[in-house]
Amino acid sequence: MNEDSKKYGQEAYDIVCHAANEIGPRLPGTENETKFHRYMGQKLRDIGIQPVEEKFTVAPRGSIGGLPYAGYAGVLMSVLIYVALDNPSVWFAIFAIAFCMTSWLIFDVLLYHTWFDIFFPHETSRNTYGELLPEDGEYDYTIMLSAHTDTSWTWKHSLRTYRYRKRADYATRGLLATIAKVGFGAACYFFLVGTACFMAVVETGGLFHAQWAAAIVERVSFHNFIVALHFIPIVTTIGCIFVGIWNDPHGRNASPGAMDNATGIALSYEVTKYFKEHPEKMPKRCRIIDMNCGSEEAGLRGSIAFTRDHEGEDILKNCWNINIDSIADADHFEVINGDTWQFCRFDKDLEKMFKDTFAEKGIVSKTKGYAMKNPVGGCDSTPMTRAGIKSVTFAAQNPTLTYYYHTWRDLPERFSAETVAQGFDVVISVIDKIAAFQEANGFNGVNN
Task: Let me know whether 56 and 69 are in one domain.
Answer: no
Task: Let me know whether 294 and 338 are in one domain.
Answer: yes
CA gap 421, 426 in Å, rounded: 9
Predicted local distance difference test score (pLDDT) of residue 445: 67
Predicted local distance difference test score (pLDDT) of residue 308: 96
CA gap 54, 303 in Å, rounded: 11
Q: Look at the alpha carbons of 324, 376, 24, 397 in this order and tell me if their dihedral is positive or negative.
A: negative
Are 49 and 272 contacting, i.e. CB atoms less than 8 angstroms apart? yes
CATH number for the domain harbouring residue 372? 3.40.630.10
> Does residue 119 form part of some domain?
no
> Does residue 189 form part of some domain?
yes
Q: How many domains does the chain have?
A: 2
Tell me what percent of the chain is helix, strand and coil, each rounded to the nearest 5: 55, 15, 30
Predicted local distance difference test score (pLDDT) of residue 442: 81
Task: Let me know whether 357 and 373 are in one domain.
Answer: yes
**Spatial CA neighbour of 63 closest among 304, 417, 362, 315:** 304
Q: 209, 244, 279: which is the final residue of a domain?
A: 244
Task: Let me know whether 320 and 407 are in one domain.
Answer: yes
Predicted local distance difference test score (pLDDT) of residue 448: 45
> Does residue 348 form part of some domain?
yes
Predicted local distance difference test score (pLDDT) of residue 429: 97
> Does residue 229 form part of some domain?
yes
Residues in CB range of 82: below 8 A, 6 or more apart: 230, 233
> Does residue 286 form part of some domain?
yes
> Does residue 305 form part of some domain?
yes
Task: Let me know whether 213 and 356 are in one domain.
Answer: no
Predicted local distance difference test score (pLDDT) of residue 72: 97
Task: Let me know whether 340 and 304 are in one domain.
Answer: yes
Q: Look at the alpha carbons of 98, 183, 377, 296 in this order and tell me if their dihedral is positive or negative.
A: positive
Task: Let me know whether 259 and 405 are in one domain.
Answer: yes
Task: Let me know whether 291 and 267 are in one domain.
Answer: yes
Task: Let me know whether 268 and 285 are in one domain.
Answer: yes
b/e map of 157-183 (b: 16 or more CB within 10 Å)?
Answer: bbbebbebeeeeebbeebeebbeebbe
Which of helix, strand or coil describes residue 221?
Answer: helix
Are 8 and 420 contacting, i.e. CB atoms less than 8 angstroms apart? no
CA gap 380, 268 in Å, rounded: 14
Q: What are phi and psi of 368, to 5 degrees?
A: 60, 30
Predicted local distance difference test score (pLDDT) of residue 306: 97
Q: 222, 244, 266: which is the final residue of a domain?
A: 244
Predicted local distance difference test score (pLDDT) of residue 170: 81
Q: 244, 265, 282: which is the final residue of a domain?
A: 244
> Does residue 174 form part of some domain?
yes
> Measured between alpha carbons, how far is residue 154 from residues 251, 297, 400 in Å?
9, 12, 16
Predicted local distance difference test score (pLDDT) of residue 179: 82
Are 405 and 325 contacting, i.e. CB atoms less than 8 angstroms apart? no
Containing domain of residue 428, as a range?
3-61+124-154+254-447
Written as tens digits, the pLDDT of the chain (448 aa) is: 788 889 999 999 999 999 999 999 999 999 999 999 999 999 999 999 999 999 999 999 999 899 999 999 999 999 999 999 999 999 999 999 999 999 999 999 999 999 999 999 999 999 999 999 998 999 999 999 999 999 999 999 989 889 888 888 787 877 777 888 889 999 999 999 999 999 999 999 999 999 999 999 999 999 999 999 999 999 999 999 999 999 998 889 999 999 999 999 999 999 999 999 999 999 999 999 999 999 999 999 999 999 999 999 999 999 999 999 999 999 999 999 999 989 999 999 999 999 999 999 999 877 666 667 887 889 999 999 999 999 999 999 988 888 999 999 999 999 999 999 999 999 999 999 999 999 988 877 665 4
Task: Let me know whether 286 and 305 are in one domain.
Answer: yes
Are 103 and 407 contacting, i.e. CB atoms less than 8 angstroms apart? no
> Does residue 116 form part of some domain?
no
Q: What burial class does residue 234 get, using C-beta atoms within 10 Å of its C-beta: 0-12 exposed, 13-18 middle, 19+ buried?
A: exposed
* Chain centre to alpha carbon of residue 338: 12
Predicted local distance difference test score (pLDDT) of residue 227: 97
**What's the Rg (C-alpha) of the chain?**
25
Task: Let me know whether 309 and 442 are in one domain.
Answer: yes
Task: Let me know whether 55 and 189 are in one domain.
Answer: no
